Each structure stands twice: as C-alpha cells, then as structure tokens.
Structure 1
Amino acid sequence: MKKIIMISSLLSGVIAFAQGTQKTDTLKVQSIKEVTLTKKVFKKLSDRFVYDISASPIAKGNTAFGLLKETPLVSSTDDKTLKIAGKSNAVIYINGRPTQMDADGLEQFLKNMPAENIQRIEVITMPGSEFKVESTDGIINIILKKKTTDGLNGNLRFVNEQNYFNATGAGVSLNYRKEKLGISGNVNTNENIEYKYYILNNGNKDAENRSVGSMSDPNKNLGGYLNIDYQLNDKSSLALTYNSRANRSYDSTIDLFNTTTSLLTDQTQYSLTKSSENARSYNNSVNLNYELKTDSLGSKLNLNAAGLLFRRFQTSTNFTYGSDINQNQISQSLKIMQVQPQIINNFSATADYVQKFKKDLTIAVGGNFNKTSTDNDTQYNAFDFRTQTSESKPNRFLYDENIYGAYLTIEKSFSPKFSGKIGARYELTQSEGNSDNAEDERLRSIKRNYNQLLPYLSVNYAINKDNNISYAFSSRIKRPNFWELNPVKTLLTEFNYTQNNPFVKASSVYKQEFTYMYKNSYFLILNHAFVKDNITEVPLQGVINGVNQVRYIRTNFGNNQEYSAMLGMQKSFFKGYLSTNFNAGIQHNRNNGSLNQDPITGDIFPLYENQRNSTSFTVQTNNNIQLDKKKTWFLGINYFYIDKQTVELGELDKIMSLDFTVKKVWNNWTFSVDLDDVLNTQLISVTDYQKNGNYNNISQDRYTRSVKLTMVYNFGNQKVKKVRDIDSADKDIKNRTR
C-alpha cells in the first residue's frame, strides 16, 4: 500500500530544491570570523555550513527533527523526510558517523532525540570521497554536546496530532555514564492512519479513464536503540550498537470509483476497485565499533562490522466490481490475491584511517565491503468471474550483491586563507538476480558487474573576514532500491498499476557547486547536476489487448540536467527577539528521456517522452519570535512556496504551506502547539500531455493540515556526558531497503 503509486516519493524528491560530518577536525582551516546571532552561529567552513545552536532557547523542548527543519538549507514538506537545497535526500550522521536506522526508524529516532543535547548542526552539500553516499545525497551531521559529569538523565515526550485522523506518540530516552562506561537508549511508539484522496485521469483520442477515491493506511510502530560504549584505555574504545524497529500496517484499503468512456462508440462503463492489504515489517541491526587514536594530532583508526536483518511480510487482495453511475455495486468481475514478502540479509565492514601532519596536512584512506542477499517469494492468483477462468503466477526472485569500495583523500591548508581537498573513490559492484518461474528467459538470471572511479575536488578561499568563496566537484552513483528490482506489479486498478524492473541499472551523477558567503549571514549557492541513466517512474499508456492501460514502470529514463541558484540569509533582529532563516531560489530543469516498451512484458506502447525544460521559483522562510524577556514564550512562523515545474510524470503544479508554532517553557516542562498547512495548500497536481494525444493527470490530497500538541519533560542530571555514537558499516544498505 505504501508503494501503490510512487507519486509521494517522487514529489518528495521534486520539492527537495525548496528545502533548503564526518571529519570536523580533519583539516585545520581558518574560517571567516563567526558572527553571533542571539547565541546562534551560522558560518561556512571549507566543505560545510555550520549552524551552532548550543545555547539557543529554541532548542528547549524541541526535537532533533524539529530543529533540523529550522536549519538553513534544510527543511521538510511531509514531516517525514529532510531535504537539503538541491538534494533529493539528506543522509543523517551523528558526531561524524552515519546513523543505524532505515528511513522510518530514523524519522522516529530524530523525533525522539532531545534538541537540548545538540551542540551544532553541519550541512554538507557536496560530500567528499570518504563518505559512502549515493547520487545527489547531502549530509546533515549532528554534533552532540560533550558533558563531563557522571550520572543519569532522560527525556519523556508525548505527542497528539489531529489531521484527517488522530495520531498519538510517546517516547523515553535515557543516558547513563559511569567513568569509562556509557549507555544510552531510547524506546518510542506511535500510532497513526495515513489518509489520501486521489483523482486519476488518463486517456487519448479513443478512450478516457477516470478513477476517484481514497487510500487509508493504519500504522503502528515500536522502535528503539541501545548504545554501549566502553573506553579500553586513553587511546582506544569499543562500542556496540543495536537498533530495532517493528511496523504493523493492517487493514490498509484503497477504494476507487472508475469511469471508462469509449469516445469512438460513446459508451461508458463504471466499476469499483476495492483493495485491502496487511503488512508488517521488522528491521534489526547490530554494529561493533573499535576506535584507536594513534597520535596526539588526532590521527586514528576506525573499524566497523555490522549485520542487518530486514523482514517485510505483505498480503493484498484486489476486487473489481461492475457498478452503475451511482456507485452501486452490481456484480463481481475480478479478484486478485498477492503475497509479496521481502527478506534482506546484509553483512558490512568498513576500515578508515586518518593521518594528520603538523603542517595542516591530512591524508585519509579506507575501504568497505557489503554483502547483501534478498529473497522475494511472490504469489499471484487471479480469478476472472466474467470468463470463469483463473491464473496463477508464483515467482521467487533471489538477488545477491557484493560491493567493494576504497577511497583516498588529501587535504591541505596552504595558508590561513586558502585550503583545498582532493580525493577519489573506487567502487566495484557484482550482482545477480534470479527468477525461478519467470516466463521470460531474460528474467531467469540477470548478472551485472561494473566498476567506477569517482573523483572529488574542493577549494575554499577566505578573501577577508567578511567574504568567503568555495567550489566543489563531486561524482556519485545511484543504485536502485532492492524492492525496485523485484519484478512484480502492485495494482491500483485492474489496468492501472506500478511495475518493478530487475533490469534497472545504476545511474551516475556529476555535480558542481559554487558558494559565496558574506558576513556569515548571507550566502549565494550556484549549482549544476548532470544525471546519466536517471532512475525514475515512467507512465506508459496505450491500448493492450483491446483495453486502454496505464503502467507506472520503474526504469532508467534518459539523462537530465539541473541548474539552480539560491540566495539565503540567517540573521537575528531586534536584539535577538526575531531570528530569520530565508531562502529564495530559481531552478532550471532540462529533461531528455523516452520509452515505449514495457521492459518486463515486452508490450509496445505509444512513445512516452519528456524532453521539456522548465524554470521555477522557490521561497522558504523560518521565523522564531521571542515573546517575553524571560524566554519562556515563543512563536514560530514558517512558509514555503514552490512554483510550477516539469518532473518525470509531467508538470507539477505550484505548492506551498504556512505553519505556526506556539511554545511555552515551564521549568523542566515544555509545551508546544503546531498548526501545519493552515491554508490547506499542500495539494499535489501533476498534468501530462503527450504529442501523440495521450494525457495523464494525477491529483492527490494528503490532508497535511493538522494541529499537534507536544509535551516534554526533562529529568535527571543534565550534565551527563553523551555516549559516543557509533559508526555503522551498513548505513548505505539500510537506505535501500524501502
């Protein structure tokens, strides 16, 4: 049900432009003098932006997720995923190390992490070769406060949110330190029902189809983590991290009323599609970390070994009924039952060594190995009541993948004003997919072996105390998610469905970025990205076996380019009573892709092409107002606007949102009320018209207007030293599990 149609995930990437680490101490670069903004500092270092909020009252009672949404260049339009300006995804690091969770677990982790524990946030728009990130991913590195006192502290959080349905959540976080031993943990749970309303129109000169209805997806989540860190001696430490998350989504439903009109015969048929789904998933991972400091300059060796077990069990039933114009059910036409499990096992290992020299020179080398096996034993059974015929298509898809990687980076500070970094990453991928019951011989065994050298370059020049410029070039590859490779289809209606594709290959991304910073308050970012063999979803539409169909195919769809320019400001006014984060940008997209064949069935459709260009304008602003001298009352006003722009599925209409937050700090308690999308303007509309006469329009209401009440209670010794957060060898694999 979560992947019934990939509009939401596509749009989260589309609107990334409007949103907006590891080696903090690996290069001694003199940055521009910091400018204090009411105990907040925003500055540009050689390869990252730094937002210091260590003493900010805005952090009081907030979460890491809420704080990140107010960080310059970072925001969220769905309250689930975080975006960096010009990036389709933000990879989260803690104290320079990647986090341990999949996307859903990470969301819950950040929404339960107390913001009071954060020292600063680093935004890396162009990660260096030492980072294992893909495609256009950027990095958000959360640096936690380092405290000195032993003891116990914690945080309790309660949340209630009302939009279309009511949602609740609660969590507890604990931190304990005694001499050389540190233990931290978290348990959180939430329950919600995701509700969406669809209007789907497609057709051509001969026929037109219209489907109208809703999707309801209940979710119950239980998750948590445990970190155990022990300092062996002054130079070495050992740590173990365990993460777990369980999700249950039972009784998910889709109810659609379908109207099919033949323009040749002027006949109209009506039908009802009723789908139900039960799914549950489990994600468990463990990571063992060893760190050794080799000298007094900060040189160190870091070793990791990790294991990941991911399980998802999903069953769905799709019914089609004949009906009249008033949606009265007449007769049953079709019943389709599907079983779509996904099992992922992964072992990962990394080794990183950083050598520092006295003359501001740093050399880093490292390597990684990932071994992943997936098992998808899919069952498909259909019975057509119109012809009294049945069809069974079982298929077990096995996929094995090995990734070998190595990198080398060299950083040098040539003067107090000028520094540079050069590096390269080499990756070798070996994969094989096998389908035991595939009718097409091509699907029986799909082997791929490819390697790529990925260079990186960055330079930074501080012209004077007020002006700083930097340039970076980066190259990355983007591998498909594991579920995208499983050759199954997920039904929306009988003739409208999504189709995964085992023939999808990795895409390549080449990016360059120029940044100008003035007085640590104003910045200009110019960006260009070229994507080769872009992985996306393509709507193929045409008459197959006498019936007009729409199939959303996951595939490589040509090349595209993106040019963008963004002006931004992070500044405080009126003696700190008003803090403003403002971004305004323009983006130009150039698309070049075409497709006319279903890669799984071989069916030929009228050509679908997207060779259009678009230019769009975006605005985003976050404002925090201190309402009293004691710093106990605060008002937040946030707004974003995204102009019309061309995406893979067509032209995305403008979208915007206005949000308010009122917060009260009372001793150890913090109370806040959030009003999100108060104007109800986060409505999704995509329109596409092809030269051959085909059209496909999609409208979606996600019911994002909501009211949320949050209560937070902090207890214990607030001077507890944070447990050392542990590197994970399998972070990049987890990102591909959904």
Structure 2
Amino acid sequence: MADRGDIIGKVVDATNDSPVGFATIALARPDSSVLNGVTADENGVFLLKNVQPGTYLVRITILGYDTRYLPNVSMPTEATTTDLGVIRLASSVQNLNEVVVRAEKTMVVSDIDKKIVNIGKDLLATSNNVSELLEKVPSVSLDENGNPMVRGKGSVVVLIDGKPSTLYGNDVATVLQSFPAELIERIEVMTTPSAKYEGEGASGVIDIITKKTKIVGTSGSLRGTLGTRNNNNGSAYLSYKTNKWAVRASGSVRNQIWYYRRTLDRQNFLGDTTTYYSQRETGSNGDMDLFGRVGINYDFTEKSSIGLTVNYSHNKDVDKSENTNQTLSDEGTLLEQFDRFSKGTTFNDNINVNLDYRKLFAKERQVFTISANYSNGVSDGESEFDQRSDFPNLVRRQRNLRDNNRHEAVLDADYTWPITPTSTLEVGAKTRMRRSHDDNAFYTFDQEQESFLFNESVSNVFGFEEYTHTGYTSFTQKSDLWGIRAGLRLTDATQKIDQISRDQAFSTHFFYLVPSFAVTRKLDEETQVKVNYSRRVQRPSSDALNPFTDISDPRNIRSGNPNLKPEYVHKAEVGYSHYVEQGGWGPALFVDYSNNAITRIRTIDAAGISYQRYDNVGRELSYGFETDFSKKIGEKLKLNASGRVFRSEVVSLVAHIDNRIWSYSGNLNAFLDLPLSLRASAYVTYDGPRAIAQGTRPGVFVANMGLRRDFFDRKATLSVSVQDLFLSRIYKSKLNTETYTQNSLWQRTNRFAGVTFHYRFGRIAATGGEEG
C-alpha cells in the first residue's frame, strides 16, 4: 500500500474555536457513497488512514451542529498525507427558536489514559447532585461519609474543571452533594493518571467537567425534588450567549435529614481480666446547603478569550445523638455505664473566584492557557455533650467550640503545541498555596462555679501552610494504529506545621518526580488495547497532621499525627476496550502497590479506651481484574455495568498487621422503556469486603429504583425514585489484634423516596450529544 496516504484534520466550534470531540468523519466518493469512517478524539483530531489516490467527499457530523461537507478533497499519488487543517462547525440551532436534541450520548469513551463518562439524560434523570452521579460511574463508589473511592480505595483527588474541588469547600463530600447534576457534561476517571495531573491521589483522579456555553442564544433548566421526611432540593441553570459574550448562572438549595444508628462491641484483653465494652447510638444529621455560580466569558477575537467564574456555597449542619455505653467484666459484672447526649451545629461558608485566559497561536494549532484561582472558607461550630450516669465520676457536661479558616490560591499555565498533526507536546507549571487555622476549644462544666471552664489539655490551636510548585511535560504521539503518551512531573512541596497552643512549629520539605507512561494499539476503529503506568505521591493532609485530641466520644478518642510521612504508590494496568453505539466493554488487569501507606491505627489501654490516629503502617497491595459493560438490547432496554475481582493486602511487621483477602464488587444500571412512554431505571451495587489496617470490612449492597416520563415534547421530565430500597446500606468493620477485637456498624435508617420535576427551555444542545 505504498501508494496510499492519510487524511488528517481537526474539528472545532465556529464560535469560539474550542475542540469538538468525538465528531463522526465519513470518507465518501463524489457520489456520496461512503467508503470509510472514523471518530475524532476528545481534542477534535481525526485520521483517515490508507486512503487511495483520488478525489473524495468528506462529511462531518455531530449532534448540535450543522453537517459539514468538504468536496473535492484530493489525495495525490505522490503525497503521503493530506492535511485539511482546522474545520469549523456551525451550531445547528442558531436560527431556531427552540430545539430539543433527543439522541442519548454514548456513555463511556476510552482515551489513552482515562475513561470519559458522558452524562446523558438517563444518568441525569436519576441523579440530583454530583455525588449521586459518581456512584453510577465505572470504578467509582462512595464510602459511608460520601467521599469517592476508586476501586474500593479512598485517597482520591477530585477536580472540577481541572481545579481542586477543595477550592469549593474543605469537605469533598459536602461539595459533591451540593453541586447540581445538571451542570455536569462529563466525568473523567483516571486510575493511572498522566503527569499532567498533580501527583496526589493514591487511588486515582476524578475530573468533573461542567457544561460550557457554546450555542448562541438562551437556554436553561429548572429542577425540583420533594422527598420523604423533608428531604427536598431545587436548582436552576441559565445560559446566554452572543457572538462575543457568554453568561452562565446557576443556583441550588438542598435540605436533607438523615437518621442513623451505630453499634460497637469490643473485647479488651489487656489488664487482669477480659472486659467487654458496648456502645449503642442513634442520631440524626440535618443538612441545609446553598450553592450559587456565575460565569462570564468574553471572546476578544476568534483566537483569544477570557472567563471569570464565581462560586459561593453555604452549609448548615445540625447533629443530634444519644448513645449508651457499658463495660462488663468477664463474669458479667457491670463495671461502668453512662448515657451521652450530644447536639451540635456547624456553619460553613466558601467563596471561590476563578479567572481563565486562553490564546491560540500559529494557524490555531498551539494553545496557551493561564488560570488564577482563589478560595476563602470559614467554618464555625459548637457542640454540647451531656453525660449522665449512676457512677458519679462519669457525670459531666462539656462544650466544644470550633473555628476554622482556610485560604487557597492556585496559579497555573499550560501550553499545548501540536508538533505534527499526530504528535502533541504539552508543558505546564503550577503554584499552589494553602493556609488553614483551626481553633478547637473544649470546656468542662464546673459544678461549684456553675460555669464552663476551659480545658487546656484537650484543646488545640493549629496552623498549617503548604506551598507547592510543580512543572510537567507530556508528549503524545498518535498514528493510525498506535498511541503513546509519556510524561514527567516535578514537585517541590513545603508543609509548615504550627501547634500554636503548644508553641511548637516545624516544617517538612518534599521534592519528588512523578512519571507516567501509556501506550495504546488500535485493533480497529472501535477497539484498542493499552498499557498504563503512573507513580503517585500522597502527602498527609492538614486534618491527618493536626494533633487535636477529639474527646467527643470519651471511650473512642481520635487525633492526628504531625509526624506523618508521604505515601508513595505505583499503579499499572493492562486494558482492552471496545465501544460502539450499541454498547461495549473495557476489561483491565490492574495492580497498585504502596509503601509507607497512610491509614488509621487504633490502640487500646487497660481501661478499655481506644485511641485512633493516622500512621504510616507498611505496604498495601491490590491487584485484580475489572471491566465496565454497556449494551442496548433492542429498542427498549439499556444496560450499563461494571465489576471487579481483586486481592487486597495490608502488611506491616512493625504494627503486627497481616491482612489479605480476595473480594469482588460491581454495579448495574438498567433502563427500560415501558408502555405509556414511561422509562424505568434500576441501580444496584455491591462493594465487596476488603482488607483494612487491622481487620476487614464486609461488603455493602445498595439498590435504587426510579420511574420517569417526558412531557411537552421532551422538554420536561417527571420522575419518581427510591434510594436504598432495602435499607441495606450498612457499613461494618471487624478488627482483630493481640490486645482487642472489635465489631462495629453504621447505618442510615431511612430510605429516600422523592418526586423530581425537571424542565428544560431554550436551545438545548451541546457538543457530543444531549445537554439536558
């Protein structure tokens, strides 16, 4: 085939020159009979390979844009490559009053080092916020506190539009629960992240990409949910665009009340005889969240633009609980007993400002972006504890006052240079500053003075600063069959720890390299195999370093450890993917190895009091098989699923830990068209048992169901959903050591049932498929 050549090009939006990923490019004869076809990658770049000399018609199609025809495309006999350059697509809705795009996006798209999960109507109809979206994404699950896990492990870096989610608030779970689902265009999951991303995130990186305004005109949506036990939420989204300006505004409010129960049973082998401690707790947790976002973009020219985004969030958290504590001797004698009642309120406010500038150079092939981001967060709280007992020495009242202030600033710049139509060099630098000041004050009620007195021994004022400077380079080469991406990131980080109340301060400095490598081999246009490797470095967080002693549960005391060291993780996988319009699958073999792993360690004293703190325990190893799967069965049924079988090991000779276990996990999303234009959905997941530092965690099963119907020419959707259908979301742990054994349980005791109404108006379209 020496006389054949390749046709290359790049597809962009005509209004702002942003890449139009995953467009369909067809190669046809002049009479329009199709000979070949490919799909552009996420950057809009495509390659038609092994084209015979001649004259052709090239057709480019994607939902939301006018079909573009390129006639008289010539492949000369003497040429090896015909470069069509940048091809601009015009919006298909610029001259329409309203349009509703009815096709559903392909859910999963595989890139060299990531999986891209498009958020179509099915996922959106069954999810009110980003947290509910994430638990339906392959490889991702949530722990009992709502924090994301990748392949069953925490320590995940969550980004929003490539920027740390911590800029939106200190608690990731609260940020994800507050962020409306309809703002999300896609979710990118990186189990072996490239060097383009910071080295944090021992388990991986999740990048949540929000929608951008690409269509001239006005569009938006309104959404409201009424749920059981006053669990309600509402949100609104509005987008307006002219040729130069684009404005986006969104807001949401959420009210949620959860009820829970907690049990703990522990045998203590220290002391003269074995003792038995038990705790039974019930309580409620009420959240009220407000979220607002405004974004403005201005295009100076076709090649340069600037954008400003402001986010504000407010959270009010109200906790109430009561627990009964008993300690018995080996003979069954009651040694101590007390009831502890607690109530507390916490307020969190966070404001985030982001400024982005984008410039295209040199025939629109080179791109320079610079971004500045600042976030300020304040958290204030108060808790009171009333402990009652027939044992006079156990009667006490306590009060905890909390004051936390956070500041974070990020400045980063990236430059992308397509050296050739099939090779790209990326370089970038980032500077990040984080500061926090935590004041935790404990007071004990004095009966004689009839007032609360400051308890210095368990109070703490803690200051933390972190300065991180990073630079990276990444090279990507794509041919007709092969794709290679190799990169290296250098990180210089300094952490300053100031135990202000103890007048102790010190700093630590880290300098390390984070390499990454990925190679893919196409078997055909829809099928590829890949091999990935990435090194990660998990630095200890400020919460883990803070030595504050939390005595809110006096028999289970928690504290941080200012002597923690970073955790180094090696991640590798070999994968296969085959995705077409009717479905596909992406199996992979993976292995994760870390030394100096950061985890919580629990010790116990002779009085039966446990002390839990973070520590570097030894090595963690996880390896196994994982796959996602999607399939359309006829015109009525669509299935999306993922699962894995894996081995997890936690070993530490110093801490006398050796836990090894085989496990399996999986989830299934099913969507079924029913009579009367109804569409049913079912979601089930099982997160299997896994090894933890001092024991195991049994599996967790969850089932959700929903039913929806579209109205008003599919501009409105009414849906009914039930979450935790069988009240099976129960988190347990079993710990076994030489000095104690412990079994614990935590469960939310109320299922959620709700009715949601979602209305979309204006020009509802986006690159790649449906936006609503």
Question: Which of 276, 292, 295 is the equivalent residue of 2:362?
Answer: 295
Percent identical:
18
Secondary structure of 1:463's match? strand
**1:331-350 alignment, distance < 5 Å:** 333-350=395-412
Task: Give 2:695's aligned residue.
Answer: 650
> Aligned pair 1:111/2:206, yes or no?
no
1:562 partner amino acid = S
Question: Which of 685, 690, 693 is the equivalent residue of 1:640?
Answer: 685
Task: Give 1:47's aligned residue.
Answer: 113
Cα distance in 2 for residues equivalent to 1:583 and 1:704: 27
Aligned CA distance change for structure 1 residues 721 and 615 (closer, same or farther; 3 Å): closer
Question: Which of 374, 385, 388 is the equivalent residue of 1:307?
Answer: 374
Task: Give 2:88's aligned residue.
Answer: none
Secondary structure of 1:113's match? helix
Question: Which of 102, 112, 127 is the equivalent residue of 2:193?
Answer: 127
> Aligned pair 1:526/2:589, yes or no?
yes
Task: Give 2:760's aligned residue.
Answer: 714
> Aligned pair 1:676/2:715, yes or no?
no
Question: Which of 198, 201, 207 is the equivalent residue of 2:262?
Answer: 198
Q: CA deviation at 1:50?
A: 3.9
Cα distance in 2 for residues equivalent to 1:390 and 1:174: 50
**1:245-256 alignment, distance < 5 Å:** 245-250=313-318, 252-256=319-323
Q: CA deviation at 1:379?
A: 1.8
Cα distance in 1 for residues equivalent to 2:108 and 2:394: 62
Task: Give 1:318's aligned residue.
Answer: 385
Q: CA deviation at 1:697?
A: 1.3
2:638 partner amino acid = S
Task: Give 1:231's aligned residue.
Answer: 299
Q: CA deviation at 1:315?
A: 2.1
Task: Give 1:153's aligned residue.
Answer: 219
**1:470-522, Cα deviation, whole Å (9 max, x unpaired):** 01100111123322322212234323222122222321111001101245512
Task: Give 1:592's aligned residue.
Answer: 651
2:603 partner amino acid = L
Consecutive unaligned residues of structure 2, counting only runs of 5 or more, are 1-40, 50-60, 64-102
Aligned CA distance change for structure 1 residues 390 and 208 (closer, same or farther; 3 Å): farther
Cα distance in 1 for residues equivalent to 2:760 and 2:661: 49
**1:197-234, Cα deviation, whole Å (9 max, x unpaired):** 11111122421211101132222111111111111112
Task: Give 1:727's aligned residue.
Answer: none
Cα distance in 1 for residues equivalent to 2:162 and 2:365: 14
Aligned CA distance change for structure 1 residues 397 and 669 (closer, same or farther; 3 Å): same
Cα distance in 1 for residues equivalent to 2:446 and 2:673: 65
Cα distance in 2 for residues equivalent to 1:358 and 1:682: 52
Cα distance in 1 for residues equivalent to 2:353 and 2:733: 42
Cα distance in 1 for residues equivalent to 2:610 and 2:526: 56
Secondary structure of 2:376's match? strand
Q: CA deviation at 1:333?
A: 1.5
Cα distance in 1 for residues equivalent to 2:202 and 2:649: 18
1:461 partner amino acid = R
Task: Give 2:239's aligned residue.
Answer: 175
Task: Give 2:514's aligned residue.
Answer: 454
Does the 8 A contact of 1:409 with 1:424 survive in 2? yes
2:460 partner amino acid = N
> Aligned pair 1:627/2:674, yes or no?
yes
Task: Give 2:470's aligned residue.
Answer: 405
Q: CA deviation at 1:649?
A: 4.8
Cα distance in 2 for residues equivalent to 1:295 and 1:52: 31
Cα distance in 1 for residues equivalent to 2:569 and 2:417: 29
Aligned CA distance change for structure 1 residues 643 and 85 (closer, same or farther; 3 Å): closer
Cα distance in 2 for residues equivalent to 1:340 and 1:553: 20
Q: CA deviation at 1:89?
A: 6.1
Aligned CA distance change for structure 1 residues 679 and 41 (closer, same or farther; 3 Å): closer
1:229 partner amino acid = N
Cα distance in 2 for residues equivalent to 1:79 and 1:255: 19
Consecutive unaligned residues of structure 1, counting only runs of 5 or more, are 1-22, 325-329, 596-607, 723-738
Task: Give 2:67's aligned residue.
Answer: none
Does the 8 A contact of 2:157 with 2:201 survive in 1? no
Secondary structure of 1:491's match? coil
Does the 8 A contact of 1:352 with 1:366 survive in 2? yes
Secondary structure of 2:176's match? helix
2:263 partner amino acid = I
Question: Which of 395, 405, 422 is the equivalent residue of 2:460?
Answer: 395
Aligned CA distance change for structure 1 residues 613 and 67 (closer, same or farther; 3 Å): closer
**1:565-604 alignment, distance < 5 Å:** 565-574=625-634, 576-593=635-652
**1:379-406, Cα deviation, whole Å (9 max, x unpaired):** 2233577999984344322222211111
1:256 partner amino acid = N
Task: Give 1:263's aligned residue.
Answer: 330
Cα distance in 2 for residues equivalent to 1:331 and 1:453: 55
Secondary structure of 2:112's match? coil
Does the 8 A contact of 1:682 with 1:704 survive in 2? no
> Aligned pair 1:499/2:499, yes or no?
no
**1:666-705, Cα deviation, whole Å (9 max, x unpaired):** 1132111111222222112211122x24111111112262
2:538 partner amino acid = K
2:436 partner amino acid = T
> Aligned pair 1:285/2:348, yes or no?
no
Does the 8 A contact of 2:267 with 2:742 survive in 1? yes
Q: CA deviation at 1:112?
A: 4.4
Cα distance in 1 for residues equivalent to 2:141 and 2:42: 23
Aligned CA distance change for structure 1 residues 502 and 39 (closer, same or farther; 3 Å): closer
Cα distance in 2 for residues equivalent to 1:253 and 1:619: 34
Higher mean alpha-carbon deviation, 576-585 vs 377-386, is at 377-386
Does the 8 A contact of 1:108 with 1:188 survive in 2? no
Cα distance in 2 for residues equivalent to 1:93 and 1:437: 34
> Aligned pair 1:363/2:425, yes or no?
yes
1:277 partner amino acid = G
- CA radius of gyration, larger in: 2
Secondary structure of 1:489's match? coil
Does the 8 A contact of 1:153 with 1:720 survive in 2? no
Q: CA deviation at 1:638?
A: 1.5
2:180 partner amino acid = K
Q: CA deviation at 1:101?
A: 2.5
Does the 8 A contact of 2:126 with 2:706 survive in 1? no
Cα distance in 2 for residues equivalent to 1:298 and 1:75: 38
Does the 8 A contact of 1:229 with 1:237 survive in 2? yes
**1:53-101, Cα deviation, whole Å (9 max, x unpaired):** 66x6665686574555544444557695555445536655566666663
Does the 8 A contact of 1:433 with 1:445 survive in 2? yes
Q: CA deviation at 1:272?
A: 0.9
Question: Which of 655, 660, 663 is the equivalent residue of 1:616?
Answer: 663
**1:121-156, Cα deviation, whole Å (9 max, x unpaired):** 544332211123522222345474764322x22211
Aligned CA distance change for structure 1 residues 108 and 476 (closer, same or farther; 3 Å): same
1:315 partner amino acid = E
Cα distance in 2 for residues equivalent to 1:454 and 1:27: 28
1:444 partner amino acid = Q
Cα distance in 1 for residues equivalent to 2:295 and 2:522: 40
Aligned CA distance change for structure 1 residues 500 and 29 (closer, same or farther; 3 Å): farther
> Aligned pair 1:542/2:585, yes or no?
no
1:182 partner amino acid = A
Q: CA deviation at 1:354?
A: 0.8
Question: Which of 515, 523, 532 is the equivalent residue of 1:463?
Answer: 523
Task: Give 1:423's aligned residue.
Answer: 487
Cα distance in 2 for residues equivalent to 1:697 and 1:665: 47
Task: Give 2:497's aligned residue.
Answer: 433
Aligned CA distance change for structure 1 residues 26 and 94 (closer, same or farther; 3 Å): farther
**1:568-606, Cα deviation, whole Å (9 max, x unpaired):** 3211112x31111122321101111367xxxxxxxxxxx
Normalization by structure 2: what TM-score?
0.79
Does the 8 A contact of 1:400 with 1:431 survive in 2? yes
Q: CA deviation at 1:429?
A: 0.9
Does the 8 A contact of 2:708 with 2:720 survive in 1? yes
Cα distance in 1 for residues equivalent to 2:109 and 2:601: 41
